[in-house]
Amino acid sequence: MNLNKAKDVFRNYIQEKGLRNTQQREVILDAFLSTDKHITVEDLFNVIKEKNPGIGYATVHRNLNLLFESGIADEIKIGNQKTRYEPKLGQTHHDHLICIKCKSFIEVHDDKIEKLQDKLAEANDFIPVRHKLEIYGICKKCK
Amino acid sequence: MNLNKAKDVFRNYIQEKGLRNTQQREVILDAFLSTDKHITVEDLFNVIKEKNPGIGYATVHRNLNLLFESGIADEIKIGNQKTRYEPKLGQTHHDHLICIKCKSFIEVHDDKIEKLQDKLAEANDFIPVRHKLEIYGICKKCK
DNA sequence: GATATAGTTGATATTAATTATCATTATTGA
DNA sequence: TCAATAATGATAATTAATATCAACTATATC
């Protein structure tokens, strides 16, 4: 999914749910899609605030939820850390290896695992929509 | 791991860390190991309170963390729900299929996935300790 | 057994992220 | 244009988890 595709997906989602396309929503959409990875509500709010001081924290928060619901954002919750969001653009889905010592995390992906997950869900009469795989352990640096 | 083994593991953990074996700790250990699955701090506190009204919420909370750290409890965090704990007794590790409609979840297990996860970690110079796999979707009943 | 050390407890306060509230404003469709 | 209603923004409320701290207690040492 590229940038414009992502915008379309979001706008369609808004329309289909009978919601409205506001200026704030567009600003937040743009800002979010051009951020670096793993941004928190607070991070995004601070970025937006510079050029759009009128937009409130609650609005950013609400719209990040919408971005997630629409499917163009991934939500990353690790432990008790604050929720992070990440645009789903070109890259494939990925999981995380999380270091229990330094709290850093790296992204990984394994097609075989993904396929087995789908099989596992099917075997239980379950329609998989999304998933979260976190492997906790000790990273290279902390060994 | 059976019940007595679990107790040993916990007591050893306590000792090795230079912690102390208190009456409250024993009560909480017993109560936890005899509960049903997926109990919250509040649940366990309420159970304990009946026979041991002197034990405080904070103590139950702290000790559930210890039970988790010692390895005899699994910690289950789903979305924004409160953390649940589960004794790791006879049963093998398992993951969860979580219904996004009715919020129920079922336990599943797949050895192949587990092994691939270990491989994936190794390939990244990462020592896996534990992991969490949650597959979100729609369950049988909610289809 | 007495004593010192330091971990534990229990009641409560604090923290911090998320969500709710609500008056005001803005968008959409008719 | 106008009515209906969603959205916003400031702030309050919620809530789980954690921190605080005086009193207590387990443990090791003498």
Single pTM value for the model: 0.86
- CA torsion sign for B80, B137, B37, B13 is negative
Distance CA B123, CA B113 (A): 15
Higher pLDDT, B38 or A91: B38
Give the model's pLDDT for residue A91: 67
Distance B62 CA to D20 C1' (A): 14
Q: Which of B116, B126, B127 sits opposite A113 (nearest CB)?
A: B116
C-alpha neighbours within 13 Å on the C-beta side of residue B48: 28
Residue A15 CA, nucleotide C28 C1', distance (Å): 11
Tell me the three state secondary structure of residue A126.
coil
What are the beta bridge partners of residue A136?
Answer: A98, B130
Q: Above pLDDT 70, what percent of chain B?
A: 98
H/E segment holding residue A52:
none
Nucleotides of D under 7 A from a protein CB: 6-11, 15-20, 25-27
Identify residue B79 by its one-letter amino acid code.
Answer: G
| β pairing state of B127-138 and A95-99 | unpaired
CA–C1' distance B96–D5 (Å)? 40
Q: How far apart are CA A51 and CA B99, in angstroms?
A: 40
User: Which CA distances in Å does B142 have to A129, B21, B99, B105?
Assistant: 13, 47, 8, 12
Q: Do B137 and A129 touch (CB under 8 A)?
A: yes
- Nearest Cα of chain B lies from the Cα of A16 at a distance, in angstroms, of 19
Strands (E), chain B: 39-40, 73-76, 84-87, 95-99, 105-108, 127-138
Q: Is the CB of B25 under 7 A from strand C?
A: yes
pLDDT in tens, B101-116: 887 889 999 999 999 9
One digit per residue, pLDDT tens: chain A, 143 residues?
688 999 999 999 999 999 999 999 999 999 999 987 789 999 999 999 999 999 999 999 999 999 999 999 999 888 778 999 999 886 678 899 998 888 788 899 999 999 999 999 999 999 999 899 999 999 998 87
Chain A 38-57 contacts with nucleic strand C (CB below 7 A): 40-42
- At residue A29, what is the residue type? L
Q: In the structure encoding, which two tokens stand for residue B59, read together?
A: 């103590």
- How does strand B105-108 pair with strand B95-99? antiparallel
Indicate yes or no: strand C within 7 A of the C-beta of A65.
yes
Please tell me which of the candidates B110, B127, B136 has its beta carbon nearest to residue A131. Answer: B136
Q: In this complex, do A136 and B140 lie within 8 Å of one another by their Cβ atoms?
A: no
Residue A135, helix vs strand vs coil: strand
